[in-house]
Amino acid sequence: MKVTPQGLGCAQLGNLYHAMSDENATATVDRAWAEGIRYFDTAPHYGLGLSERRLGRALAGRPRAEFVVSTKVGRLLEPDPAGASRRDDAGFDVPAAYRRRFDFSRDGVLRSLEESLGRLGLDRVDLVYVHDPDEHWAAALDEALPALFELRAQGVIEAVGVGMNQCPMLAEFVRRTELDALMVAGRYTLLDQPALDELLPLCAERGVAVLAAGVFNGGILATPSPGTMYDYLPAAPDLVARAERIAAVCARHGVELPQAALALPAAHPAVASVVVGAHSPEQVTDNARRAREPVPAALWQELIAAGLLRADTVVEAGMTA
């Protein structure tokens, strides 16, 4: 299984933060395809299934062997007719016609994957992540992952992973199981590099592919002038100030803030793909262009000298600044 260096994160297809039209969702996937992106990541959580449905429709008719799709298990969607008149309270602008229920049991995993395939309109997905098992360590380790490993052995799926926005538990999963991949969200970025402590070296040593997501930390690094959202919540003033200092260094070197935010994780040898979401085709094109443009070594050196970046950050394959 091969993933492209940049992947399309599809939370936005589930109306993350604000709604988009079906036409815009399809056009966003189409533009990603035109830019050479062939890895698409979704989850039932994203828009209560809306992301999966839209992604499936947008990929319909394309050669199945030419793209990789990942989805996630751990949250089952259960109908909630009483919620249809209110909006979802998890950050997605959709009716709350379903409720999410954490379920990391074997039966829950199998049911979740079957329902995802139905929403996607696919007969298989390539990579399945156990999604956010922070409070469900034992069930994920003893039930969810063994169920997925069994499906991998049967050839039903190609790869098994875990996706989280923290490092210590991900590292423990790598040590204790035979993962193929993991998705780490927001923990190896221009603002936050704890994945360097243990997780990334461990994955490099064991051959576990890292999919770096949340590289804009929820929005603060997504634009040349820093935004105001960090990890899907309003950013603290000190974080905004730090992002502004980083943006100023970038500008001195003729680099946009999101360009540097994309380049940093891409340089680490353990990272197989940088997964970025988009609300429009234009955002896809902007990020694809930024990912192709090199970042001068002098920029990283200035960030480190200013105390804005760790000295052990990998800025080029096999090299630190």
Identify whether the C-beta of residue 208 lies closer than 8 Å to the C-beta of residue 235. no
DSSP helix/strand/coil, 277:
strand
Tokens of 247: 């943006």
DSSP helix/strand/coil, 300:
helix
Q: What residues are annotated to the active site?
A: 46
DSSP helix/strand/coil, 145:
helix
What's the residue count for the chain? Answer: 321
Tokens of 12: 């936005």
φ/ψ of residue 64, rounded to 5: -60, -30
Quote the distance between the C-alpha of residue 159 and its chain's center.
16
Is residue 145 exposed (0-12), middle (13-18) or buried (19+ Cβ within 10 Å)?
buried
Distances (CA, A) of 1 to 15, 141, 181, 219: 29, 24, 11, 30
Residues 226, 241: Cα–Cα separation, whole Å? 9
